[in-house]
């Protein structure tokens, strides 16, 4: 994807279609990782499975979302 806005559009589409906000919690697609010593030093990362899900949505394929 050319930029974060494209991914954000797909994430909002998943939320609208499936009723699941992938960014709202740590799950198999997306998680928070500690990056430093401060309590606020965190980065959010997407798994390969998360990237594959976004590709399915982008391609118009049927998809299922399971947070477990």
Q: Residue 24 — φ and ψ, nearest 5°? A: -80, -15
The label of the residue with tokens 């998809």 reads 63
Q: What's the Rg (C-alpha) of the chain?
A: 13
Contacts 24+ apart (CB under 8 A), 15-20: 18/65, 20/65, 20/67
Residue 23 included in any domain: yes
Q: Which domain holds residue 41?
A: 4-59
pLDDT tens per residue across all 68 residues of the chain: 778 899 999 999 999 999 999 999 999 999 999 999 999 999 999 999 999 999 999 999 999 999 87
pTM for this entry = 0.85
Contact 1, 17 (CB under 8 A): no
Residue 66 included in any domain: no
The total number of structural domains that make up the chain: 1
Closest CA to 55 of 27, 29, 23: 29
């Amino acid at each position: 994807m050319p930029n974060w806005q494209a991914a954000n559009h797909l994430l909002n589409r998943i939320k609208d279609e499936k009723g699941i906000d992938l960014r709202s919690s740590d799950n198999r697609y997306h998680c928070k990782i500690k990056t430093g010593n401060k309590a606020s030093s965190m980065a959010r990362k997407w798994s390969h499975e998360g990237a594959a899900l976004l590709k399915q949505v982008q391609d118009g394929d049927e998809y299922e979302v399971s947070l477990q």
